[in-house]
């Protein structure tokens, strides 16, 4: 008999599957080859995958099929390699966790992640954590809100330690699969704990049952939410700004610039040096934030630093 579940941990040859009906955790292996069309990846089954599995006579369980992915995010194995590593699949939303002090996330870092979300068609939400540290400096928060509201992104100010807006964030995430991303130290783990007390404990138990001695933090994990849905944590991954694009296509991933581009003289305007450019005009008039435009220019230059 075949069962269905979602993969919430993938470590080498073992996959932890949460059964879709019972939420029971089943440790599965992959036997034989499961082919996925169009993807040459180093890992055939990833967190977020919906799979079919069967129990075998020896008390083990085997993954027998993968349901088509709605979307997935990849990291290329290397710049020279055509193989890619899939980080997670079937994501409803990316939550980009940022903080403005201790540590300060750079606007460029945020923009690279947003561009990736746009390219993968994953709606993004910014969670500005550590607002308790911004009491004396409201201008930092205002600036971030202004820049991203203009681009059409939602920003929720939260504090994992003081509890500000945690209920609101929990409600936003309920019933959906959300990827939690952000640079180290911004409070991703703290936020997951605040949203779902015991979430890490539950995934931790699984890691001890079958993967003794493994360094669990190097693997993506899916934390089931009691209100339905999952949080996918990809520790050790700085961001996921890892896509290839042509100069003409990049501005499609900056919504506020894309909206203006029909006003440019040239249909293939890159908004850098062309005459009569609506984007350059809007930047000069302060309608497009300078910070966003600077990120755009840096990404156009093809800075390899983040790849």
Ligand X SMILES: Nc1nc2c(ncn2[C@@H]2O[C@H](COP(=O)(O)OP(=O)(O)O)[C@@H](O)[C@H]2O)c(=O)[nH]1
Write out the residues near ligand X by the rule CB under 6 A.
129-130, 132-133, 159-161, 182, 184-190
**Cβ nearer to Zn ion, comparing 61 with 269:** 269
Q: Binding partner of residue 279 among ligand X, Mg ion, Zn ion, none, CB under 5 to 8 Å per kind?
A: Zn ion
Q: Decide: 206 and 9 in contact? Cβ < 8 Å.
A: yes
Residues that bind Zn ion (CB under 5 A): 264, 269, 271, 277, 279
**Token pair belonging to 95:** 């939550």
> Which listed range, 45-53, 73-81, 189-197, 255-263, lies at the site for Mg ion (CB under 5 A)?
189-197
* Kind plus residue range of the DSSP H or E element containing 225: none
**Cβ nearer to Zn ion, comparing 72 with 296:** 296
Shortest Å distance, C-beta 50 to ligand X: 27
The one-character DSSP state at 41 is B
Q: Decide: 125 and 93 in contact? Cβ < 8 Å.
A: yes
**Cβ nearer to Zn ion, comparing 51 with 279:** 279
Q: Binding partner of residue 10 among Zn ion, Mg ion, ligand X, none, CB under 5 to 8 Å per kind?
A: none
Q: Binding partner of residue 73 among Zn ion, ligand X, Mg ion, none, CB under 5 to 8 Å per kind?
A: none
In angstroms, rounded to a whole number, what is the distance separating the alpha carbons of residues 159 and 7? 30
Shortest Å distance, C-beta 163 to ligand X: 9
Q: Decide: 214 and 27 in contact? Cβ < 8 Å.
A: no
In angstroms, rounded to a whole number, what is the distance separating the alpha carbons of residues 97 and 102? 13
**Cβ nearer to Zn ion, comparing 223 with 271:** 271
* Residues 88, 242, 238, 229, CA torsion sign: negative
Q: How far is CA 19 from the centre of its chain?
A: 23
Q: Binding partner of residue 269 among ligand X, Zn ion, Mg ion, none, CB under 5 to 8 Å per kind?
A: Zn ion
Q: Specify which residues 50 forms β-bridges with.
A: 6
Q: How many CB atoms lie within 10 A of CB 101?
A: 11
Shortest Å distance, C-beta 258 to Zn ion: 10
The one-character DSSP state at 190 is H
**Cβ nearer to Mg ion, comparing 4 with 189:** 189
Shortest Å distance, C-beta 128 to ligand X: 10
**Token pair belonging to 248:** 């003409």
**Cβ nearer to ligand X, comparing 191 with 269:** 191
Shortest Å distance, C-beta 157 to ligand X: 10
Q: Given candidates 41, 189, 216, 294, which one binds Mg ion under the rule CB under 5 A?
A: 189
In angstroms, rounded to a whole number, what is the distance separating the alpha carbons of residues 306 and 199? 30
Shortest Å distance, C-beta 188 to Mg ion: 5
């Amino acid at each position: 008999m075949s069962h269905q579940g979602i993969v919430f941990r993938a470590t080498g040859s073992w996959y932890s599957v949460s059964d879709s009906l019972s939420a029971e955790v089943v440790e599965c292996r992959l036997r034989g080859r499961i082919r996925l069309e169009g993807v040459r990846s180093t890992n055939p089954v990833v967190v977020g995958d919906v799979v079919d599995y069967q129990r075998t006579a020896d008390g083990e369980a085997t993954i027998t099929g993968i349901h088509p992915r709605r979307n997935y995010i990849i990291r290329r194995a290397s710049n020279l390699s055509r193989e890619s590593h899939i980080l997670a699949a079937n994501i409803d939303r990316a939550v980009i966790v940022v903080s403005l002090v201790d540590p300060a996330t750079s606007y460029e870092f945020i923009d690279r992640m947003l561009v990736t979300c746009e390219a993968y068609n994953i709606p993004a939400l910014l969670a500005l954590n550590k607002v308790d540290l911004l009491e004396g400096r409201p201008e930092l928060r205002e600036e971030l809100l202004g820049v991203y509201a203009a681009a059409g992104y939602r920003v929720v100010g939260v504090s994992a330690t003081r509890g500000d807006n945690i209920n609101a964030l929990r409600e936003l995430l309920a019933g959906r699969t959300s990827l939690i991303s952000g640079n180290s130290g911004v409070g991703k783990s703290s936020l997951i704990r605040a949203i779902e007390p015991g979430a890490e404990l539950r995934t931790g138990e699984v890691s001890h049952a079958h993967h003794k001695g493994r360094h669990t933090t190097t693997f993506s994990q899916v934390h089931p939410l009691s209100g339905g849905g999952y949080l996918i944590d990809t520790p050790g991954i700085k961001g996921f700004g890892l896509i290839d694009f042509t100069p003409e296509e990049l501005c499609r991933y900056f919504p506020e610039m894309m909206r203006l581009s029909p006003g440019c003289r040239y249909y293939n305007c890159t908004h850098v040096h062309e005459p009569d450019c609506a984007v350059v005009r809007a930047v000069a008039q302060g309608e497009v934030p300078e910070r966003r435009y600077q990120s755009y220019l840096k990404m156009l230059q093809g800075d390899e630093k983040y790849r």
